[in-house]
Amino acid sequence: MERKMKDSGIPWIGEIPEHWEICKLSNFLTQFTEKNHADKPLLSVTRDKGVILRGEKGDDDNHNVIPEDLSGYKHVLPGDFIINKMKSWQGSYGLTDFEGIVSPAYFTYHLNFTHKKFFSIALRSSAYIPFFSMFSKGIRVDQWDLIPEALKMFPFFVPPVAEQEQIASYLDEKCDEIDELIDVEQQMISDLESYRQAVINEAVTHGLNHNAPKKHSTIQGIKDIPSNWNEVNLLKVIYLRARLGWRGLKAEEYVDEGYPFLSAFNIVNNQLVWENLNFINQLRYDESPEIKLSLHDILIVKDGAGIGKCARVENMPLGESTVNSSLGVITVSDTLYYSYLYYFFLSTPFQDNVLFLKNGMGVPHLTQENLKSVRIPLPPVDEQRAIAKFLDGKCSEIDGLIQVKQEKIETLKQYRQSLIFEAVTGKTLITNNA
């Protein structure tokens, strides 16, 4: 069935149905501020899920410290529209299903729109997110602020109410189907990650010969180890150093070219990523020679919520490099193969130790003092090398399978995004039989 179309006036949207209205977004929004409801639940506004209860799964966009006094936070009710003005250009806005409170920095609006479900689906689609980028300003890309008068300039394309209902119902059904497929793939990824963890645990605690004689282990979390293995205090077989007694850098001290200055953010999935780096000059680099990196060092996050994450220095593509105060640098002794230590750091027994540290203090730190009690199983060096080689191959195989699943999920998400875009801009004709 053909429909007459008209130009929307927006290049990336193109044509919309001729009978749809073109309104200003601000027509449906009334800004308000209501405070002094500190007893209400704290809400987050996220990129992927819109408005959720703070602390829920998916609350990965906002890591601001929560103040003790919440009386200045804004009170919102179900159906209100909330915008994280600093991250709206990423899609951090939406309608709330909850009564609660949000940051005083957020914009809050009452919504006057007949079919709120359609409004929410449409506005959070790829048809409208570019508007938030257009009207966000700032010096740093990650700190753009939405200008308050922006919503008066946003067009919003409004079909008749009956058509809004049809579109919302259609997208609910289709998106549920896609989400189910995504859930299946995500469960497979979770299963593969669990399998990889089990493989690592088995190899670094029992070796590759399952028939080898065993003896009792005194290491917490490890019942037994091969009888020809030793147990040693970690600090006896490593040299741990960190940036101590060294004043931090101010942002203006970073240089465009110089020595790479690695941080915890450069460890992604326990791999060292040589991207999004800061650089320091020769003078600052030479101030701390003890933490200059060498091949086969192990880097470990020693401060904050990410403690315990680690990576191997397998190459140094940008030449001589160093680390900031969030990372510890580990060099191993002759009796310890660096890759075996890396995999032991990934094992459950070691990570459980780290978890204990996380739970035992406000801001966790990994130091020589709290590593004194950590013991590790120590196979002969040749066996360590064999274990590491096996794990390199096995983990690479599992990671390849995970990558395939992740790519499939991304394809499904793109399909869902395209489906929504086509529907909320009228390019797909939705009928009761669709």
Mean pLDDT over residues 378-387, rounded? 97
Count up the domains in the chain and report the number: 2
Give the separation between CA 414 and CA 407, rounded to whole angstroms: 11
Q: Both 391 and 343 in a single domain?
A: yes
CB 338 within 8 A of CB 296: yes
Q: Which residues does residue 332 pair with via DSSP β-bridges, in sequence order?
A: 238
Question: Who wins on pLDDT, 7 or 89?
Answer: 7
Cα four-point dihedral sign 359, 360, 363, 366: negative
Mean pLDDT over residues 65-72, rounded? 78
Give the separation between CA 89 and CA 132, rounded to whole angstroms: 5
Spatial neighbors of 198 by CB under 8 A, at least 6 apart, are none
Residue 43, pLDDT above cutoff 70: yes
Residue with structure tokens 């995004």? 417
Say what the pLDDT of residue 122 is: 94
Q: Both 197 and 336 in a single domain?
A: yes
Amino acid at residue number 218: T
Q: Both 24 and 100 in a single domain?
A: yes
Q: Both 224 and 150 in a single domain?
A: no
Report the percentage of the chain scoring pLDDT > 70.
93
Say what the pLDDT of residue 433 is: 54
Q: Both 285 and 383 in a single domain?
A: yes
Give the separation between CA 11 and CA 13, rounded to whole angstroms: 6
Q: Would you state the torsion angle of the CA atoms of residues 150, 151, 152, 155, taken in this order, to the nearest 10 degrees?
A: 110
Q: Both 210 and 153 in a single domain?
A: no
CATH number where 357 lies: 3.90.220.20
Q: Both 200 and 152 in a single domain?
A: no
DSSP string for 116-177: HHHHHHHHTSTTTHHHHHHTEE-SSGGG-EE-GGGGGT-EEEE--HHHHHHHHHHHHHHHHH
pTM: predicted TM-score of the whole model, two decimal places? 0.83
Confidence of residue 63 (pLDDT cuts 50, 70, 90): low
**Domain span holding position 280:** 193-395
CA Rg value for the chain: 27
Q: What is the pLDDT of residues 187-230, one digit of tens each?
A: 999 999 999 999 999 999 999 998 999 999 999 899 999 999 99
Mean pLDDT over residues 23-45, rounded? 91
Q: Both 143 and 270 in a single domain?
A: no
3-state DSSP call for residue 61?
coil
Confidence of residue 288 (pLDDT cuts 50, 70, 90): confident
Pairing of strands 81-83, 43-46: unpaired
- Domain-located, residue 244: yes
Question: Who wins on pLDDT, 304 or 299?
Answer: 299
Q: Both 199 and 87 in a single domain?
A: no
Mean pLDDT over residues 45-54, rounded? 88
